[in-house]
A = this chain, B = another copy of it.
Amino acid sequence: MKTSHTNSRSQIIHETPKPLYEQVKTSVLDNIQSGNWPNHSQIPSEHMMVRELKMSRMTIHRALRELTKDGHLERIQGVGIFVAKPKPKTTNLNLADIKDMIQKRGDLHNCDVKFLQSEPLDADVAKTLNLKEGAPVIRSYFMHSQNSLPGMLQDRHTIPDLVPGMLTHKHQLTAIPSTAEHHHFLMLEQPRPCVQIIRKSWSGKRFLSQAKYTFPANRFCFYC
């Protein structure tokens, strides 16, 4: 590989400040936004785009990979690339260390185990995790307190399995109305809106656990 790889596109790069992979990304987003590529539809394969756009596969691949990480596309090895779920909501925040928030609440931290038991997986969680309903899971229910005031409820479902390396997590943040359960465990005297963070953990493609963290808004506030 001694010959130069420079070609006419090098000049295009210079004329347009945006890198090629960024141009590919916006092009793909345009196709999605305009409805040209409908939701859940399959989009041209990487090799196809390589031929069509006359770019290197690494360039195409990077563009599509980043769009996937941002939730716009879904890639299935051996099958193809699809426009991601109907974007019901979405806007990605970079909550890099939610882990710290959850663990490191060290100062005045107190933790009560409300219950900890093996139980069959309920239909709701089973569906969201694409697992069999009724499979045995470990359900743990913790109440975290600060100054003896309940501040966070943790409801976790864990698949009882050996844990290999390289965990990955997905977080989802929303607001919910408080439920009777919250009123009881968090000692709420009246309904309160709560911030809820759902954290799903995976080891490779194997689901490991889901945890719901619930914070009553009147007792908690997140500073960024």
Contacts and interface: CB of A to CB of B under 8 A. Distances in A.
B97 A95 contact: no
B176 A217 contact: yes
Interface string A93-106: 11111101100111
Interface string A118-148: 0000000000000000000000000000100
Contacts of A108: 33, 87
A219 B88 CA distance: 7
Determine which residue in A22, A88, A204 has the highest number of CB atoms from chain B within 10 A of its CB, and name it. Answer: A88
Contacts of A1: 1
B173 A195 contact: yes
Nearest to A33: B107
Interface string A202-224: 00100000000001010111111
A172 interface: yes
Given A33-B107, A97-B87, A166-B18, A222 B176 contact: no
Contact of A107 (B87, B104, B176, B204): B87
Contacts of A170: 223-224
Contact of A173 (B58, B100, B146, B222): B222
A118 B164 CA distance: 59
Interface residues of A, number: 54
A194 interface: yes
Contacts of A174: 195, 217, 220-222
Interface in A160-192: 165-166, 170-177
Contact of A224 (B165, B173, B193, B194): B173
A172 B174 CA distance: 14
Nearest to A177: B193
